[in-house]
Structure 1
Amino acid sequence: MTSSAPDRDKPVFMISVVAEMLDIHPQTLRLYEREGLVVPKRTDGNTRLYSQDDIDKLRRVLSLTRELGVNLAGVEVILSMRQKMEQLQDAVEQLVQYVQQLEMQVKVTERNPQILNALVKVTRQDLMPTSDI
């Protein structure tokens, strides 16, 4: 999962600041927005505000277009595939955690075979002495 720090997705940069940071014309940012490559937040006055995550995404777009010569349609496909890969990575990580939990349960059952025949499956660690009640 693309773990964003809490402030990375906070919209704080105006279009002129982002244009200067990335050394591009504000019209280029507007074009990228029209193409759906980046979607800045808007203030009540309709001013575009970009987050650090938006800026990072714009840097990837610029790298693909400037350094690799990818056109905007190609950039869109690449970014979409990247997002899907991140989602798949998150799913794999969740699956690994689930398998690890199952392995732990199997180990507990192997150490305590009487658990298999119990009506309520508990381990000794789950039990509390009656004096504690």
Structure 2
Amino acid sequence: MVMDDRDRPLYMISVAAELAGVHPQTLRSYEQKGLVTPKRTSGNTRMYSQADIERLELINELTGEGINLAGVIRILDLQGRVAERDEELDSLHKKVRRLADRVHELETRESVTSLVVAQTNSLRRLP
């Protein structure tokens, strides 16, 4: 799996907290609850990606609307499941297109073969 630029760890906790508009302790709490999972350096420093910042902004938006953290966890879980289903659906659509192309190719071959057989048979009937 190739790392998307959005997933590249860029920000230490203090910068991530400032970008997300929360206190660093809030980020630690969110990590403990499984709301965000920053990467770690070899020295165990938390490093947040742009995707993490966007997720934190969504968490802030949801909690700002009065949704508690249990509700936020549920929403994020459902959002992840929807994204997985979208990927599966895209994959299935690609497979269907490939199969449709293959069917078309086989039908074309069959038509050409039928024409060649018919032409060969008609040539055999000539005196």
Confirm or deny a common fold (TM above 0.5): yes
Q: Which amino acid aligns with 1:84?
A: R
Q: Distance in 1 between matches of 2:45 and 2:94?
A: 43
User: How has the CA–CA distance of structure 1 residues 108 and 93 changed in structure 2, closer, same or farther, with 3 Å as cutoff?
Assistant: same
Unaligned runs of 5+ in 1: 117-133
1:23-102 equivalences in 2 (<5 Å): 23-66=21-64, 68-102=65-99
Aligned to 1:126: none
Q: Distance in 2 between matches of 1:29 and 1:115?
A: 66
Root-mean-square deviation (CA, aligned residues, Å) is: 2.0
Unaligned runs of 5+ in 2: 114-127
Q: Which amino acid aligns with 1:17?
A: V
Q: Which amino acid aligns with 1:11?
A: P
Aligned to 1:110: 107
Identity across the alignment (%): 45
**Which entry has the higher C-alpha Rg, 1 or 2?**
2
> After superposition, what is the alpha-carbon deviation per residue over 1:64-95, rounded to whole angstroms, capped at 9, x for unaligned?
111x2111111111111111111101111111
Normalising by structure 1, we get a TM-score of 0.76
Q: Which amino acid aligns with 2:68?
A: N
Native 8 Å contact 1:42 1:49 kept in 2: yes
- Hey, which of these two has a bigger chunk of helix by percent? 2
Normalising by structure 2, we get a TM-score of 0.80
Q: Distance in 1 between matches of 2:112 and 2:40?
A: 58
User: How has the CA–CA distance of structure 1 residues 115 and 75 changed in structure 2, closer, same or farther, with 3 Å as cutoff?
Assistant: farther
The structure 1 segments of at least 4 consecutive aligned residues displaced by more than 6 Å after TM superposition are none
Q: How many residues align structurally? A: 112
